[in-house]
Amino acid sequence: FPTFSLFFFFFSLLKPETAAVLKRTVEALMERGAVVRNLENLGERSLPYKISKHKERHRRGGYFLIDLEGPPSIVSTMMDHLGRDIDVIRRAFIKHPVSKTEECSGIIPVNYEDKLIAKRK
């Protein structure tokens, strides 16, 4: 599966409500076949501008980053799911580039006679 990061923020909540939002989000990801690798709290900050969402204006929000592996189809379903969540202000998926793995070409034979001659010179 490809690796994604889900970046989202929601308006300022008390700790129990924050835990509930995170739990809902992680459970929704796992129900859709994702494997959550890491959850990072980026802290609460002022938003870059006032954002109106769900008939409210927001100035501050809690920022979170979730690293996950899952099928590409998860992106559109989770964007819809998080769009309906009244606590989430913004959300975005970022696809990580696939790292190319190099195949081992085997052991390269070393000519020891050449090494000995090179040391004598």
Domains in the chain, please, with CATH? 3-97 (3.30.70.60)
pLDDT of 102 reads: 62
Question: pLDDT tens for residues 65-111?
Answer: 999 998 999 999 999 999 998 888 888 998 887 666 666 666 777 77
Across 53-73, b (16+ Cβ under 10 Å) vs e yields beeeebeebbbbebbbebeee
Structure tokens at 56: 């409210």
pTM over 0.85? The answer is no
